[in-house]
Amino acid sequence: MNRLHAGVVFLSVVLCVPLAAACVRQRLTTPLMLLGTIALGLLVNAATTGGLAGVFGRYEGRVVWLLPLWVLVSAWTLAGGRAKPPGRLAPVTGCSGRP
């Protein structure tokens, strides 16, 4: 892993704590469940690939990008970027523009 990747992963790990705390305060369970799933997946991946093939950074590098993705998505969610529910569909119009 090069220095840029290591820096992004380190920053993501550091930002996980305050973002998870903010999700707890706002009672947002979906981002917390996703973080738990990602953490469990990273641990299982590390144990599996380390036990079967040896300790190589390239195996963990294939899934560690999920942690920065969680940081971005949870920060966007906490900033109020939740998706709005879809509205009613507009009626289908013909070529003339009339319904």
Task: Give the chain's domain count.
Answer: 1
Q: In this structure, is residue 91 part of a structural domain?
A: no
- Average pLDDT score over residue span 1-5: 79
Asked if residue 92 is part of any domain, the answer here is: no
- At residue 61, the pLDDT reads 74
Range of the domain at 46: 3-78
68 assigned to some structural domain? yes
Determine, yes or no, domain membership for 29. Answer: yes
pLDDT for 31-76, tens place per residue?
999 999 999 998 888 888 877 776 666 667 778 889 999 999 999 9
Q: DSSP class of residue 62?
A: T
Q: Is the full-model pTM beyond 0.95? A: no
Length in residues, the chain? 99
C-alpha dihedral sign at 75, 80, 86, 90 = negative
Note whether residue 46 is domain-resident. yes
Does residue 52 lie in a domain region?
yes
What per-residue confidence (pLDDT) applies to 80?
A: 82
pLDDT score recorded for residue 57:
62
Mean pLDDT of 13-31: 91
| Domain presence at residue 23 | yes
